[in-house]
Structure 1
Amino acid sequence: MSDPPASIHEFDVSLICAYFAALERQGPGSPAVTVQALDFVDNLSAASRIADIGCGTGGQTMVLAAHTPARITGIDLFPDFIDRFNANSRTHGVHDRVTGRVGSMDDLPFAEAELDLIWSEGAIYNIGFARGINEWRRFLKPGGFLAVSEASWFTRERPEEIDRYWRAAYPEIDLVSTKVGQLEQAGYVPVAAFVLPEACWTDHFYAPQAAAQERFLRTHAGSEAAAELVAAQRHEAELYQKYKQFYGYAFYIGKKL
């Protein structure tokens, strides 16, 4: 039996960036789910400040901009993502209040109690859920909100294949109830937690990758690493179809005490 394709985390970051830069979203989600999560956040105005951490190319950020008058700063480690983010901001006509900046989520360029809302879709795993919600809390004003989506188990028991895959890819994956408890321990009032619909994976994340993968392979013809990266993404999609009843993404919204 051949070994399964490598995890996404085993590839060179420049190759990962080149692959995902062509996509509107770099993780599972949808405009409808972004709006659904935003509906739990109140008191946002033109004076409010939002940070979208791990913003990628800004697919979800442009949805936020369409549904709130606040000023938004997107933060991402990859300059190519931020270039596309700022181009998207201009295309959507919101560049006067929506700006992308290159930066690291473990060294954020904000003052204490500066932000009304911290947003992060499918990205907090890069620093770890527990660490992220604890360290980012100081940037929120009292009564400010945190809204993040995170890989989560839906059941206490699951098949060994998918359990092994996710524990290797992201050891902090855990039950929804555990994540809500971590929010409480970090000093947030849990406002909402809900599971992202299947379409966030199939229609908005994996389907757009199909055409992008062919272009990526042509651009990187002859690259074994590029072929392995595509194989890894296809393997991940196959695992989701096989085991989607056991895991997925959930949105967690908390309010700073």
Structure 2
Amino acid sequence: MDEFPLLVDLHKGAQRQGPGGENETRRAIEWSGLDPQAPLRIADIGCGTGASTLVLASVLPHARITAVDFLQGFLDVLMERARTAGVAGRITPLCASMEDLPFGAGELDGIWSEGAIYHIGFARGVAHWRRYLKPGGLLMASEITWLTPTRPGEIQAYWEGEYPEIDLPSAKMRVLEENGYSPIAYFVLPEHCWLEHYYRPLQTGFAAFLQRNGHSTQARAVVEAERREIELYERFKAYYSYGVYLARKACDDAP
């Protein structure tokens, strides 16, 4: 059995599909300079089950938010949560690949992507998505980032194997600048965004996940991989986290 359906099953019921937090999303919105009174057009790309989407809809009550994910099941969960929160009217779900989006050139005031740009790659994502932003439009992307210039070989090898684009904040800023953005802010997700908001809730679901999937070899392998990632974070959290990058489209493309 392909492990992808198992990963979807494990993560679908979670509040979030990666490290983050409501307060951190609110901080990013505040630092972004987005006007809460403006009728903004924002795309939340790789939104999962909507942890960031719901905050955007709450803090920016006049914005129209397109919640983009390639898994319809995640979007269904998102919209149910949006209805419960009373913000469903501000959100349009869109089942689409982040590599093939239906937006027009210069259509969006902002692109938001928490913990998802790695699916396309940071450099490719910021270059590809720029076309959809208005001049001065905002890009927010959180991206796994080294916090120190050197780190133990074990964690270096693990993350370079999982995501070769992991790098220092200065390198990510350079990628943004080379692709026509002006960086405006950066901060690091704190430990509670990993443990309290992501890993601990994930761990509480392991037993039920294994039971749903008959304790199959593939299901056990998925859980062991997650446990390994958690164990590495607990040992090496001083060396990496997610960086939250905020930048604006510097200018229109030359003709």
TM-score tier by shorter-chain length is over 0.9
Flag structure 2 segments of 5+ consecutive residues without an equivalent: 251-255
Residue in structure 1 matched with residue 43 of structure 2 by the alignment = 51
Residue in structure 2 matched with residue 202 of structure 1 by the alignment = 195
User: Residue type of the partner of 2:213?
Assistant: H
User: Residue type of the partner of 1:132?
Assistant: G
Residue in structure 2 matched with residue 40 of structure 1 by the alignment = 31
Indicate how the Cα distance of structure 1 residues 97 and 46 shifts in structure 2: closer, same or farther if over 3 A, else same. Answer: farther
Residue in structure 2 matched with residue 187 of structure 1 by the alignment = 180
Q: Return the alpha-carbon distance in structure 2 between the equivalents of residues 215 and 222 of structure 1.
A: 10
Residue in structure 2 matched with residue 103 of structure 1 by the alignment = 96
Identity of aligned residues (%): 48
Q: Return the alpha-carbon distance in structure 1 between the equivalents of residues 78 and 103 of structure 2.
A: 19
Residue in structure 1 matched with residue 235 of structure 2 by the alignment = 242
Indicate how the Cα distance of structure 1 residues 157 and 15 shifts in structure 2: closer, same or farther if over 3 A, else same. Answer: same
Deviations 1:152-204 (A, max 9, x none): 01112111110110011000000011001111111111000111111100110
Q: Specify the SS of the correspondent of 1:39.
A: helix
Deviations 1:71-113 (A, max 9, x none): 1011111111111111112111111111221100000111111
1:42 positional shift: 2.4
User: Residue type of the partner of 1:13?
Assistant: F
Where do residues 155-174 of structure 1 align in structure 2 (5 Å cutoff)? Answer: 155-174=148-167
Contact 1:76 1:105 survives alignment (8 Å): yes
Residue in structure 2 matched with residue 63 of structure 1 by the alignment = 55
- Relative to the length of structure 2, the TM-score reads 0.94
1:46 positional shift: 4.7
Select the residue among 12, 31, 44 that pairs with 1:21: 12
Contact 2:3 2:222 survives alignment (8 Å): no
11-20 or 194-203: bigger deviation: 11-20
Q: Does 1:215 align with 2:204?
A: no
1:43 positional shift: 4.3
Q: Return the alpha-carbon distance in structure 2 between the equivalents of residues 17 and 190 of structure 1.
A: 33
Flag structure 1 segments of 5+ consecutive residues without an equivalent: 1-10
Contact 1:180 1:193 survives alignment (8 Å): no
Q: Specify the SS of the correspondent of 1:179.
A: helix
1:12 positional shift: 2.4
Q: Specify the SS of the correspondent of 1:96.
A: helix
- Relative to the length of structure 1, the TM-score reads 0.94
Residue in structure 2 matched with residue 78 of structure 1 by the alignment = 71
Aligned CA RMSD, in angstroms, stands at 1.3
Residue in structure 1 matched with residue 81 of structure 2 by the alignment = 88
Contact 1:144 1:255 survives alignment (8 Å): yes
Q: Specify the SS of the correspondent of 1:151.
A: strand
Contact 1:124 1:148 survives alignment (8 Å): yes
